[in-house]
Chains A and B, each alone.
Chain A
């Protein structure tokens, strides 16, 4: 029920409200822009048309990039009419007519006199609509021409960037945008998130480690990233080495738990002939299952399926090690 009064824009063409010096400045800036204006005057008017609706204008065609575009920016046509309805329903004072849906930036800006002195413009032109569209399209073009910085960090996937260095949609994982989702470094480091890394072949961060089994003639490799807990990993290993009879690897643990539960752990150690161990970053051989899964994948370098008899005496050392680890 609040009514939005439509103010005239302070009026770039109205002299008195602008300081003389600012006119000079703005005209010098605008002269740069207006010359380019002419070059881009061939732009389709429809492209530069302003709408309150969803993007359909030329300045942001890239709304669909950044990974698995989940329907973002779609249906602009439908969007506009829906918005029209919305406007009519909720804001009687708002422009409900279709004409006003397309009002230019200039019409929409309120011109409160107190800020009048301070309003600057990038251009003197009265034709704000076209200007506005041009300016944005121009910005895009400029951006497109500038090579993106080469840095060690993953490239900033700027949404508006025409450069489309955003990874192609066939990446099997979300492209990593810098600082998104907004999670503090302390939390990221503590949680040891499996941050997806992009490489040239479009592979997602993989964590292949060698798996050796005592008595087996050859080693295997597993990708730790394809598992989310110890249960999955140990059953995968069981399948992989079943031809070499690994013994009972089935645990009483409920799938989905972070670490092996106490009972499952015991079952594994006592009930089976073999024991799952791994070599960590420090070169120590550890019993699998003590630490949370994320910590394990971070520090695991190699897996070894050890004969039960050799694994005796390993557990206490593992505990102490765990305590002194961060």
Chain B
């Protein structure tokens, strides 16, 4: 029988493999036979590490010696909402150190929810001669001095994006460190920086980088300066404005409108901090070609929003505050027939009473009118099973559905029942649903539906829901493709977790906080499943000082091939496995 693996020279296989980009497929290729494993490893150029503690840097660089692009994620998702205490971990330094030695030709680093220090940035700047892409999303730990190291040294930098990261703003001159000869910038996102950057340096940079496609400014860039920047980069595809308000002056307005008309390629707009509505018409020339519009920081009223959005007939993605109201969403349903993604954020999430006329009806309208809608994030104050059922039937093509009813455990406002049936309809009709976030009053029943129908579900977020362990059991036993499960404030205890312990090895991670999982159960899981890290987070002190039956504050379980992590802070305890006990 011909050994097909040997019938192609390595170079041919390498060439064939180079067309396979999806990580999952790459993984499958590597399982075929030893030589394919080796060839695939040798020619893998991109690595995605979904959990920085699932594998060690040393293991990665050893298996994949020729990587050019790395993406790593750190903290659990709930860290975004302050549920993970300070100092938890996700330090990128060990990765940078290992890659500095192993990947001199590394070009791209993309990090999410990680801690990156100035030292790391300096190491990047001096270790990778061809470094071209740095994207930091929801990261922290660095200052503008670290950025200066990047801009000063990375001659081939193409993308520098700081998305919603916490940067200590020491000095705005880091941008000026780009040498005058530097022209390769394609994408610059400084939207999260607090202070001013050197504006004239920015203007010069923008006008000499003729390949610039993305420019996301920060709030400190005044509106008067925007027109000039746009004139320097009429080829811009994506723009994030700075502050969008100043004293109304006709010449400023005219200047701005003209500058926008000159940007024929503009497809995406964001920014819009502090909007003065009378400046919005300056955007009208570009509205019809916009595919993405982020107005989620624009505190402007429904009428102004409607005037703008109703002109954006090509819109595919819209992020907006609930000032849009049901009326505005109805207009969107009629005007934006290409809409794929809608996010509606709350303008007053901590107020008791609704401050805007936004209800479930707005979402229903959009689900009716926008046939391509597949991704939703919606904050509102009331919901009904009937509305959810309608939405589900309207949009069986939904793939991401995140609903946040602001009051925890709010029932169907019409019938006072739990919203089980409504969410049940969502999972039943939306057969390709990959991501789901629940809210409102929910019993175990909703989890029964999810376990039954949510076969493609990969990520589930649960808060203030369920009655008994049955709920958790339904999810763990039913959702075949579940990768990430995060739960807070639910009455789930030991039983479901222990009964489905093996499931945890098929998932990336499980987060449970303010639930009823006992310390004893955590110990048991840690003991019997050495390929998981079972980490108890408890700021009250060592869990040993409390009875085994005492529930832990927070629990983070993730699979790993690297064993325990070595950088746990004092309030994190890893449950030991057999091997650890034997050694000691």
Q: Which residues of A approach B to under 8 Å, CB–CB?
A: 2, 4, 10, 22, 25-26, 29, 32-33, 36, 50-55, 57, 59-60, 63, 66-75, 79, 82-83, 86, 105, 108-110, 112, 115, 117-122, 132, 135-136, 138-140, 142-143, 146, 149, 151, 153, 156, 158-161, 172-174, 176-187, 190-191, 193-196, 228, 256-259, 262, 291-295, 319, 323-324, 326
Contact = CB atoms under 8 A, between A and B. Distances in A.
A142 B549 contact: yes
Interface string B512-524: 0011101011001
A25 B417 contact: no
B141 interface: no
29 contacts: A25-B528, A32-B520, A52-B444, A59-B516, A66-B409, A70-B410, A72-B410, A86-B421, A108-B470, A109-B473, A112-B477, A115-B503, A119-B499, A135-B495, A135-B549, A142-B549, A146-B550, A159-B490, A174-B350, A178-B82, A179-B488, A182-B461, A185-B80, A186-B164, A186-B166, A191-B299, A292-B274, A294-B299, A319-B247
Nearest to A188: B349
Nearest to A104: B470
A149 B351 contact: no
Query: Nearest 6 A-B pairs (CB), nearest first?
Result: A179-B81, A118-B502, A72-B409, A158-B514, A186-B164, A120-B498
A149 B350 contact: no
A53 B404 CA distance: 23
Contact of B468 (A59, A73, A259, A293): A59
B347 A191 contact: yes
A266 to B, nearest CB: 11
Interface of B: 78, 80-83, 138, 164, 166, 192, 194-196, 219-220, 222, 243, 245-248, 273-274, 276, 278, 296-297, 299-301, 345-352, 355, 379, 404, 406-411, 416-418, 421, 437, 441, 443-445, 448, 452, 461, 463-464, 467-470, 473, 477, 488-491, 493-495, 498-503, 514-516, 518, 520-521, 524-525, 527-528, 539-540, 546-551, 553
Please report whether the interface of chain B is mostly helix, strand, loop or mixed according to DSSP: loop
Contacts of B503: 115
Given A70-B410, A122-B520, A184-B81, A105 B514 contact: no
A324 B199 CA distance: 12
A70 B489 CA distance: 17
A160 B491 contact: yes
Contacts of B477: 109-110, 112
A122 B495 contact: yes
Nearest to B469: A105
Contacts of A293: 299
Please report whether the interface of chain A is mostly helix, strand, loop or mixed according to DSSP: loop
B518 to A, nearest CB: 7
Contacts of B297: 187, 190-191
Contacts of B416: 71, 74-75
Nearest to B345: A187
Nearest to A115: B502
A10 B83 CA distance: 35
A201 to B, nearest CB: 18
Contacts of B355: 228
A182 B81 contact: yes
A193 B467 contact: no
Given A22-B528, A119-B501, A121-B498, A108 B473 contact: yes
Given A174-B352, A183-B81, 14 more contacts: A29-B548, A53-B467, A70-B407, A86-B445, A117-B502, A119-B500, A159-B490, A172-B352, A173-B351, A181-B404, A181-B406, A183-B345, A190-B219, A258-B299
B350 A176 contact: yes
Contacts of A136: 468, 491, 493, 516
A130 B246 CA distance: 68
A132 B468 contact: yes
A180 B81 contact: yes
Given A25-B528, A110-B477, A115-B502, A36 B247 contact: no
Nearest to B224: A323
B240 to A, nearest CB: 13
Contacts, number: 254
A193 B196 contact: no
Nearest to A295: B274
A326 B273 CA distance: 10
Contacts of A257: 301
A2 B80 contact: no
Given A73-B441, A174-B352, A182 B80 contact: yes
Contact of B489 (A22, A50, A159, A196): A159
Among A54, A71, A143, A228, the one with the most B-chain Cβ atoms within 10 Å of its Cβ is: A54
A183 B489 contact: no
Given A120-B498, A143-B550, A160-B515, A184 B352 contact: no
Contacts of A51: 467
A143 B551 contact: yes
Among B417, B499, B515, B521, the one with the most A-chain Cβ atoms within 10 Å of its Cβ is: B499
Contact of A60 (B220, B379, B467, B553): B467
Among A52, A122, A291, the one with the most B-chain Cβ atoms within 10 Å of its Cβ is: A122
B498 A159 contact: no
Given A53-B443, A109-B477, A176-B350, A120 B524 contact: yes
Contacts of A324: 196, 220
A319 B246 contact: yes
Contacts of B489: 158-160, 177
B301 to A, nearest CB: 6
Among A110, A117, A142, A193, the one with the most B-chain Cβ atoms within 10 Å of its Cβ is: A142
A60 B491 contact: yes
Contacts of A156: 514
Contacts of B138: 184, 186
Nearest to B83: A179
A40 B78 CA distance: 36
Given A36-B549, A292-B274, A195 B493 contact: no
B582 to A, nearest CB: 13
A33 B448 CA distance: 28
A142 B499 contact: no
A140 B551 CA distance: 9
B499 A109 contact: yes
Contacts of B351: 173-174, 194
A55 B443 CA distance: 8
B495 A132 contact: yes
A295 B219 CA distance: 13
Contact of A52 (B248, B445, B514, B515): B445
A136 B492 CA distance: 9
B520 to A, nearest CB: 5
B470 A122 contact: no
A192 to B, nearest CB: 10
